[in-house]
Each structure stands twice: as structure tokens, then as C-alpha cells.
Amino acid sequence: GKSEKTSGEKTGGKGDTAQDTLVYGRGGDSVSLDPAVVTDGESLKVTKNIFDTLLDYNDGDTSVQPALATKWEVSPDGLTYTFKLRQGVKFHDGTDFNAEAVVFNFERWANGNADTFPYYGSMFGGYKNDESHVIKEVKALDEYTVQFVLKRPQAPFLKNIAMTPFAIASPAAVKKYGDKFGENPVGTGPFVFKEWKRNERIVLEKNENYWLEGYPKLNQLIFVSIPDNSARLNALLKGEIDLMEDLNPSDLNQLEGNKDFRIFKRPSMNVGYVGLTTTRGPLKNKLVRQALNYAVDKKAIIDAFYSGQAEPAKNPMPPSIPGYNDAIEDYPFDLEKAKQLLAEAGYPNGFEMELWAMPVPRPYMPDGQKVAEAIQANFEKIGVKAKIVSYEWATYLDKAAKGEADAFLLGWTGDNGDADNFLYALLDKDSIGSNNYTYYSNDELHKILVEAQTVSDENKRNELYKKAQEIIKEDAPWIPLVHSTPLLAGKANIEGFNPHPTGSDKFTKVEFK
């Protein structure tokens, strides 16, 4: 850790001063480097830099901008999308990027199934022969024009197209490596895959022929896995890494006074919540759920365990997403009111229940156990005795999905910045069994959410979502806790790094000053 100078010399041999290798410390390793086959963020963080998508998100939000596609047109019925592709782009293996390549990739995914290309199915309603499959066909109109024909309108279609998983891979390489493509990724992105040492590091090198003139700035990009948050911070402090994610909010003050380092805040696109399983015991009662909502002191929790780097949540989706209902008033922290509601519901002396605590840190919940402990203490005050239970992550999800938890901590990070990706995915009755762990089922809400999926008028859609949020607030299947601001920390001389709300960052413009 102490030989920063020597290694600086080694890696950045040319420049005397400027460093051109960035070591990015993160919590876990990737599963595969084929973005289409994975669902985990750790894989996508890397592939984002190896591959490009047709469209990309803007820095800092989820509106789309050109990437491999330079222009696009939507037919008025919302069923045909025509993309003009960037010319002269080459894959890392030297083959050309063109419309055929785009078609090849989409065909590949559409011919798959939920197991092989999970994200495709969930974002585009299924696969080739499925009734619900949204995409009717993908055609190459000419060498640099691709046309998508949909079966029915899909409001977030462009946002979906911009998602990291739908990155365009070299057809030649896909054919060449077959199953092993995930270990030999070839894309058009700013960095070229060089080496992967499992559970330790992935090394990417500058793509000299990148289509964005003058970029990337870095010569090498290294992702290293350091599971423990404090260990990662130590590594940063000792110069072993340059940039780290998932900084413990509690470590914030340690860095704040330090001139050598700076904090990066990832715009929030998440929600952390307490799920109240609506089919279990006293929680069946709406009044009880509301009472519990009154009993949680979100502010104190945020101060203590997020170091203030979060805002209290009142809705199941973050404010940055269109359709957010800011008019809603949150349940205030009011123990008297809570007690009163409990009494009304027939539990004047409270009751006992389990409160499940997440065993793993997530951006929206850096320490589930502690948040649970704080909430436990809150509940105690209104006579609700919560026993904290924790399972391993796998078991936790499995059991919670089966509705075995009374109250549980969980959260969600948006994939594409669309309200549907929150409200429908998490609280619609269709999602029971997948991501609606509370078993909350409201027909009125269902109708609204389904309607919103096909409405292409932005304003109309937003109205529908606002209505939905009102219903949810009233039924209180959750105690929305926070929209956290995930923290990153890095060397003070890093420039051009704007953490993206989706959690996957492109390092094209990053450099050391």
C-alpha cells in the first residue's frame, strides 16, 4: 500500500505527473461480463464500460441521449421506432458495428428465455413466441438504420433500450466464444477487456479507437473487489485504490476534512422501506400499518445511520422520477397518534411480531441490522414488541417472497428511472410472488398501474402515478423510510466523474488532474 509512487511510475509511465490508471474499489465481483445474461449490478458496472448501448442516459438522470444511435424517430402510434446508427464504429475485435449487429443482438435475446436473458424478458414482456412480448420485429433497413416494430405501445421503451443490459456485442465474438462470451466480452465501449481474476479484479484498457474523439482519458481501469466497507475505505486512505463506492455514511466525517479526498454523491434513485406483510396477523389491519408508520422516527435514523445522506421517504418512489407526488404529506413521527390508532385497531397494549433485518448492506440500507434496531426501539414505545430476525440474504429473499415475514426491511434501486419500475414492480398485485413481498393487493391500484403502462402521454401517465401514490399512502403496505444518496469517495484530483443514479458509471470522461 505504501508504494504508490513506484506503481504510479509503472502504470503511468509516460506522464510524469498525471496518473492514468484508476482503481475502482467495490463490494463484490461480477458474475459474468456478458451484460445481457446477468442481473447483478456488479456485472453491469463493468460491462457499461466495455459495451455501448444504442441510447444512453444523460449524466445525472435517466433521460436518454444518443450513443451508438445518433438519431431516432417514433411513429405517432408509438409502435415503430427507427434508429440511425453511428458510422465507422468498430468492435474491439476489429469487426464493424452496423445494423446487422444490432439485429443480431436483439434476435439473440429474443430467442432466449427467462434463464438465459432475464432482463430482456422482464423489460420487453417476454420472448419471441410469448403473447406478451412487446417487440414484434427488429429490422435492418440499411447498413446504418434499424427499425423496431412493437406489438403495442410501451411507454418506457426508449429508457429500456438505454439500459446497460441491452448493450451491443460483437456478433463475431459471440459466435466465436459461445458460452464463454461472458469471460471474453467484446463490445464497442471506451475500454477493452483485458483480464479477469475472479473475486479480485477486472482490468480494462483504453480503447484507442473509441468513437468519442479524445476519449477515454484513462489508460487503464481496474475494478477490485473488497467486500468490507471499512476495509475498502482503508484501501482508499492508503492509496491502494482511487475511488470507492458504498462509503459507510458513518465514515463520512473521516473524509470530510481531508483535502486529498473528495466525496461523490450518487443521485438517489432508490427507496428503502419497511414492508408490512398485509396478510399476516395484526398487520392485516390497515390501522395497525398506519400506526406503525406514525411510530418511526425517520429523521433520527437518517442522522444516525445515513449520516444525513438521505431524505425521508414518503412515497414508494424517489422524487427524481417523473410522476412523483410531492403533494403527499408523510405520516409524522407521532407516538400518541400511533397508540391511538393501535387502540382503535384493537391492540391497545400492542402486540408481538417479527422484524426482519437485512443481512447485507445495500445503498438504500447501509446497515439493516442497525436500522432495524432503531425501529425496534421506536415500536417498543407504542407497545409493539418486535423481535429482530435475520437470515442470510438468499434465505431472506426467499422467505420474504413467500410472505413469511411480518415486517421486513428492504429496498429497491430503479433500473430505468421509470415510475412503473417502482410502483408496478413492487406493489401491484401482479407482482405478488415476485417483488411484491407485502402481498399487498388493491384492485383500484392495479387498474391505474396497468393503464399507465400503455399510456404514452407523459402528463397523463404522471397523473395516474400520482393517484397511485395516494392510494398506497392510505393503505400503508410499507413504511417508506428513505431515499438515500449512495456515497462514493475518491481522490480529490479525480475529474469528470458523475455518479449515475442507476449505479453503473461510464468512465469515458474521467481523468486525474
Contacts of another protein in 199-238 (CB under 8 A): 199-201, 222, 224, 226-231, 234-235, 237-238
Footprint of another protein on residues 25-84 (CB under 8 A)? 31-32, 39-40
Q: Say whether residue 6 binds another protein (CB under 8 A).
A: yes
- Say which residues have a Cβ less than 8 Å from residue 17's Cβ, sequence separation at least 6: none
Q: Say whether residue 385 binds another protein (CB under 8 A).
A: no
Footprint of another protein on residues 116-145 (CB under 8 A)? 118, 121-122
What are the distances in angstroms from CA 48 to CA 15, 56, 282, 476, 507? Answer: 27, 10, 45, 37, 9
Q: Say whether residue 184 binds another protein (CB under 8 A).
A: no
Smallest separation (angstroms) from another protein to the CB of 297: 8
> Do residues 203 and 67 lie in contact, with contact meaning Cβ atoms separated by under 8 Å?
no
Q: Is 60 left (phi over 0), alpha (psi -120 to 50) or beta?
A: left
Helix axes 420-427, 443-454, angle to 10 degrees: 150
Smallest separation (angstroms) from another protein to the CB of 225: 8
Distance CA 496, CA 22 (A): 12
- Of 182, 187, 190, 503, which one interacts with another protein (CB under 8 A)? 182
**Contact region with another protein (CB under 8 A), list: 133-141, 154-162, 381-389, 501-509:** 381-389
Helix axes 458-475, 420-427, angle to 10 degrees: 40
Question: Residue 144 or 275: which CB sits closer to another protein?
Answer: 275
Q: Say whether residue 14 binds another protein (CB under 8 A).
A: no
- Please give the DSSP secondary-structure letter assigned to residue 348: T
Q: Say whether residue 459 binds another protein (CB under 8 A).
A: no
Distance CA 41, CA 23 (A): 18
Please give the size of the binding site for another protein, defined by CB under 8 A.
83
Footprint of another protein on residues 277-316 (CB under 8 A)? 300, 303-305
Q: Say whether residue 23 binds another protein (CB under 8 A).
A: yes
By DSSP bridging, strand 69-74 and strand 64-66 are unpaired
Q: Say whether residue 251 binds another protein (CB under 8 A).
A: yes
Binding mask 331-350 for another protein (x = CB under 8 A): --------------------
Q: Say whether residue 383 binds another protein (CB under 8 A).
A: no
Smallest separation (angstroms) from another protein to the CB of 231: 5
- Chain-centroid distance, C-alpha 467: 25
Q: Say whether residue 425 binds another protein (CB under 8 A).
A: yes
> Do residues 219 and 12 lie in contact, with contact meaning Cβ atoms separated by under 8 Å?
yes
